[in-house]
A and B are shown apart, each in its own frame.
Chain A
Amino acid sequence: MPEETDGRPVQTEQGTGVGTGLDHRRRWLRTFRFQSVDHVPDEEFGYWTDTYRVWQREGLPREVASEAAANRYFGFAPRARVPVVMGVRPMLPVRVLEEDERHRVIVNGLGQTLLQHKDGTSSIPHFIRFPVENRTDWLEFRKRLDPDDPARYPANWEQRLPEWRRRDYPLGIAVGSLFGWIRNWMGFEGAAAACIEQPALVEEMMEHVTELVLHVLRRALADVPLDFADFWEDMCFNSGPMISPRLFRRWMVPRYRRITDLLRGSGVDIVYVDCDGDITELVPLWLEAGVHCMFPLEIRAGTRPEDLRATYGRDVLLMGGVDKTALIAGKRGVDEELARVVRLTEQGGYIPHVDHRCPPDVTFDTYLYYLKRKRELLGVPEPEAPASERVRAAMS
């Protein structure tokens, strides 16, 4: 997804809406309000680190080696978040505990001990230990979740406000995570066990995060008219949620609601959640909680945008839903997949893009074909700038 963490949008050469009266911001908002648009916003999720290396061998300019650079190079519509640190701060210095030819064991900034590939190959690491195992650990860890930490806002916040107020692109804010963060801090098994053995601790952690988010949010909401807010959870397998809908409803729905009520009271009416896997059982609960945009709709896990639209109508907004494995299959797979999503896109409330970061087993040629066909089918103009200029933009 074309977002940067410093609040600077990814500027592109195309799609300013000149001649249509729609800039990026209005196009994005109108799409999610089911209003007419000249075309759907041109967005993609992003890429694995390995993907750049593989694609550079297949023709991607070497200068394009990051998400921001790729967004500029491919000419996607800009979107950004304000640079507010909502989570753990400060991060600890990374320590290497041991290493061999292929692997390295480190303690990362969060305090997780993990085994990772030394060559930078993309993978979810093998986690060995987590910073929170019990309440004593939590009380120590919580010191890095101080709502009053002044460094949560950048020193130049005030100076950035005029630029944000006159922007022509969607600007939002990340609003944290009620379960995903706890899973990061305790580990999957630790968090799952804590739900049964230490429920009071789980609730205490969720409550602290909720209060932290509410506290930190207020200044941003008062200073900038924001367009969206996003949660990150990643709490579903391909067979459904990691915790029961019963616990989700009891612990998470009321806390989400407090945050989404504050957001809506300040005019932020698009709230999405980033959750891979099969989210089907949790969608009605997120809707109840005021989180009504689902992202990234992993097809292979069984989360299909057309099914969600059929079930929830215009109560649900959608982002993603293009099966990455169809792109792996090649151009024919691309054609079949795009045919599936075009009709849904025409109904509004949906921005189609690949349903996760694009993996390196999608060839660069296939990806270019996918972008070309998607733009043709959805009436999205191709970037006007020649490739050489887009490479320069990617480096800027």
Chain B
Amino acid sequence: MAGQVPACPQHMSLEELRTAVVEGERTAAVAATRSALGEGVPARSILDDALVPAMATVGDLFKRRQYYVPEMLMAARAMKACMEVLRPELVAAKVEPLARVLGATVQGDLHDIGKNLVLMMLEGAGFEIVDLGVDCTPERVVTAVREHGARLICLSALLTTTMPAMRETIAALEAAGVRGQVAVLVGGAPLTQAYADEIGADGYAPDAASAVDKAKEVLARLTA
């Protein structure tokens, strides 16, 4: 359009990157990340101004039922691929993650789809993820909290029979004297907010997109 001011090249590449991530275009997203770095855009800006907002958009689309798991998964994978490119630059620039998060399916439970989706979305929101896997004993979680200095634990259970392991894990954190330094977020098909309250969790997330909001909320309460 005549008279229009050309867009800043940096803004253009970040806009391309945002679009590529939202649309789950992994190759285009990685190319846009490399391009932005090549143009001298700081790694922190790429993360904060493109990748994190892109995944926030994805979460919003999921909550509004415009995106479903396949679309969310492809976006998360694109984001992850971009992070592989970006991570050395973030480390060099001493950019800290929002917080370090542990993800675990509790003892007795081998199901990990929900946990994996939650961790993908949290990584997309700028958290550093340590995935402890499935069938995690309370002791293992306590050890990992100490080892990694995590501020948030996401516990997942699919079965009514494994839900009590969440309570046991929280009790183990109390007994080990580390409960006050870490927030606990729980989720899984049989869970409810009432159950989360009953076992002393800090929050309950019904799905992966909500988990990001809830994680920020419980961490804010922890640091308040």
Contact = CB atoms under 8 A, between A and B. Distances in A.
Interface stretch (A56-64, A73-81, A234-242): A234-242
A167 interface: no
Nearest to A301: B189
B160 A196 contact: no
A56 B108 CA distance: 21
Given A125-B110, A126-B112, A359 B159 contact: yes
Nearest to A202: B70
Interface in B74-106: 74, 77
Interface in B130-181: 134-135, 158-162
B120 to A, nearest CB: 10
A123 B110 contact: yes
Contacts of B112: 126
Interface in A77-119: 102-103, 115-117
Contacts of A193: 70, 73-74, 77
B32 to A, nearest CB: 19
B111 A126 contact: yes
Contacts of A242: 68-70
Interface string B43-79: 0000000000000000000000101111101100100
Nearest to B120: A189
B128 interface: no
B71 A359 contact: no
A328 interface: yes
Given A188-B113, A328-B160, A300 B190 contact: yes
A168 interface: no
Given A195-B70, A325-B190, A126 B65 contact: no
B110 A116 contact: yes
A247 B70 CA distance: 11
B15 interface: no
B16 interface: no
B65 A240 contact: yes
Contact of A239 (B70, B116, B161, B207): B207
Nearest to A123: B110
A244 B161 contact: no
Contact of A126 (B68, B110, B189): B110
A121 interface: yes
A122 B161 CA distance: 9
Contact of A196 (B70, B134, B135): B70
B206 interface: yes
B207 A124 contact: no
Contacts of A239: 206-207
Please indicate which of the listed interface residues A124, A243, A359 has the most CB atoms of chain B within 10 Å of its own CB: A124
Contacts of A122: 159, 161
Contact of B134 (A126, A325, A328): A126
B70 A192 contact: yes
A277 interface: yes
Contacts of B161: 50, 122, 359-361
Interface in A169-224: 188-189, 192-193, 195-197
A117 B110 contact: yes
Interface of B: 24, 65, 67-71, 73-74, 77, 108-114, 116, 134-135, 158-162, 189-190, 192, 206-207
Interface of A: 50, 102-103, 115-117, 121-126, 188-189, 192-193, 195-197, 237-244, 247, 277, 281, 300-301, 324-325, 328, 359-361
Given A193-B70, A197-B74, A242-B70, 14 more contacts: A115-B110, A117-B108, A123-B159, A123-B162, A124-B110, A124-B158, A126-B110, A189-B113, A195-B70, A196-B70, A237-B69, A237-B114, A301-B189, A325-B190
